Amino acid sequence: MVNDIALFWAVVAAFLVVDNLVLLPHGSDVMRFGFGGRLRYPSAARLQLLGRDLIVLNPLNPFDRLVASQRSVGSWSASEHRTALRTLQRSLTGANALSALGLAYLVAVVGLAAVSFHVPFMDVLILLLATHLLAWALALVMLLVARPSLGLSAGRLAALAAEALFVPAYTINLGKRVWFRRTLDLPALALGLRELRRIEDASTRDLLAHELLQRLDAVAEELALPPGDARHTWIEEARRCLKVSAPSTGS
């Protein structure tokens, strides 16, 4: 019986972990953001699956979220930056509410898992079902209220609600899932270069510059741009700046 209980919770955990593995479409890139909505570029080396980048989110942190961008390199204007930030900030209240609910649900599930080995498991299942239905109902209300700011179509909202009803992990992850099909029109890797200029600690700056240079080389190889392309020029200029910032990466 103990093995059966452990297997049940292992399956629940597996659904949560798998839902935090995000496979990016070809040619797209991502930015991460948390509770406050500050955009960050994930510069570390990425896993590859089927020739595409695989981003691993923290399954224990419903506020570890990402938003995609259709372009990785290039410059952007101040107005484009303001527009993108306004779009993100407009959705943040609803997304944070869903993530907060997901965190409370996750804590409840962990608590039920801990006591399930000491009390009748059927009682735990009844409590889990009741908790899930309550969390799902609250999430549905939040989705309906925040739908305009989250930019959800009626079809997308219905799909999210149906998925969350049948899979508890999806309810926990709703604060992330509402952004899975949305994009911001910002060059994601350029955001990483912007972050680099703000870092004062030399060792931290050198490490980030090294990671960004590796990422830039990978993007340049994937895009295979001709020399006359404006993005090729931007990449070459960015590469020169990064090599100055991270001299240990080579000449």
Distance of CA 155 to CAs 35, 45, 99, 189, Å?
27, 35, 21, 32
pLDDT at residue 30 above 50? yes
AA letter at 207? L
N-to-C CA span, the chain: 62
Residue 246 is predicted with a pLDDT of 62
94 CB-side CA count, 13 A: 22
Q: How large is the average pLDDT for residues 159-188?
A: 93
- Which of the four pLDDT bands, split at 50, 70 and 90, describes residue 251? very low
- Which of the four pLDDT bands, split at 50, 70 and 90, describes residue 213? very high
- Helix axes 2-19 and 78-115, enclosed angle (nearest 10): 180
